[in-house]
């Protein structure tokens, strides 16, 4: 089966610009996650969706970050305006709903550099 | 609060040596899930193993084995007869369930960089 697809793979922007990342989860996976991984650290959850509803966005900097999953399938994460400290890899993941005997499957990520 | 600690930042071994990666976790929940993920240079997190809090049976899967001990809150991972292709960053992670039936957020450790030399 196809894995989690993310685009773009790399993005370089200047501070104060805006940027958007796209994710298509594994088919049939109702739960979708966005994680931020800063160099040298483990990933940290930004937002979790179940279908098109938000389950957990407690760590999302809502003044500049937004995410949507309108049709309960693919998702977009946006940063506006970007800051230097937003430089990181943004990982999308998905998992099955309704079972705990599962794991999160990750995409290859989008590496963002803010200059 | 949930926390995962991987005290080993970097480990270097020579091919065919066994290597154990340490993981200590903190949680107040009685039901939780533990994972090991591998992150090669390509960047994708690759799932390796999962353990439920109510199942302390330790297992071996090929060259991988794990030692889950609730009494010490540890979930250590061992690679037997390491190979160069095992070189990667390894992450230990902890999760609880959302709404009782969906995997919740993963709390990751800082990772251990494993380098296997030929």
Q: What is the pLDDT of residue A87?
A: 98
pLDDT digits (tens, 9 = 90+) for A20-44: 999 999 999 999 999 999 999 999 9
Which positions in chain A touch B111 (Cβ < 8 Å)? 41-42
Asked whether residue B100 carries a pLDDT value surpassing 70, the answer given is: no
Smallest Cα distance from B90 to chain A, Å: 10
Which positions in chain A touch B25 (Cβ < 8 Å)? none
Do A45 and B47 count as a contact with CB atoms less than 8 A apart?
no
For strands B24-26 and B3-5, give the pairing. antiparallel
Instruction: Find the mean pLDDT for residues A48-70.
Output: 93
Instruction: Find the mean pLDDT for residues A90-107.
Output: 86
Please spell the DSSP secondary structure of chain A, one letter per residue.
----EEE-SEEEE-TT--EEEEEE--TT--EEEEEEE-TTS--EEEEEEETTEEEE-TTS-TTTEEEE-TTSS-EEEEESS--GGG-EEEEEEEE-SS-SS---EE---EEEEE-
Q: What is the pLDDT of residue B7?
A: 94
Which positions in chain B touch A45 (Cβ < 8 Å)? 105-106
d(CA B70, CA B52): 11
Smallest Cα distance from A80 to chain B, Å: 24
pLDDT digits (tens, 9 = 90+) for B25-57: 999 888 889 999 999 988 889 999 888 888 777
pLDDT digits (tens, 9 = 90+) for B74-84: 999 999 999 99
């Amino acid at each position: 089966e196809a894995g989690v697809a993310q685009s773009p793979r790399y993005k370089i922007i200047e501070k104060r610009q805006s940027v958007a990342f796209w994710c298509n989860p594994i088919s049939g996976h109702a739960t979708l996650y966005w994680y931020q991984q800063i160099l040298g650290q483990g990933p940290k959850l930004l937002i979790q969706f179940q279908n098109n509803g938000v389950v957990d966005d407690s760590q999302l900097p809502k003044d500049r970050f937004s995410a949507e999953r309108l049709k309960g399938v693919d998702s977009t994460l946006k940063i506006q305006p970007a800051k230097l400290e937003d430089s990181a890899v943004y990982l999308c993941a998905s998992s099955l709903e309704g079972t705990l005997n599962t794991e999160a499957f990750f995409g290859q990520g989008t590496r963002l550099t803010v200059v | 609060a949930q926390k995962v600690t991987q005290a080993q930042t970097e480990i270097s071994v020579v091919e065919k040596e066994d290597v154990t990666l340490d993981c200590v976790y903190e949680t107040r929940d009685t039901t939780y899930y533990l994972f090991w993920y591998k992150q090669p240079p390509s960047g994708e997190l690759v799932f390796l193993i999962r353990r439920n809090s109510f199942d302390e049976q330790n297992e071996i899967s090929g060259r991988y084995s794990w030692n889950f001990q609730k009494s010490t809150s540890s979930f250590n991972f061992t690679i037997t007869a390491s190979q160069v292709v095992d070189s990667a960053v390894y992450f230990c992670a902890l999760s609880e369930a959302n709404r009782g039936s969906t995997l919740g957020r993963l709390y990751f450790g800082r990772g251990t960089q494993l380098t296997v030399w030929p």
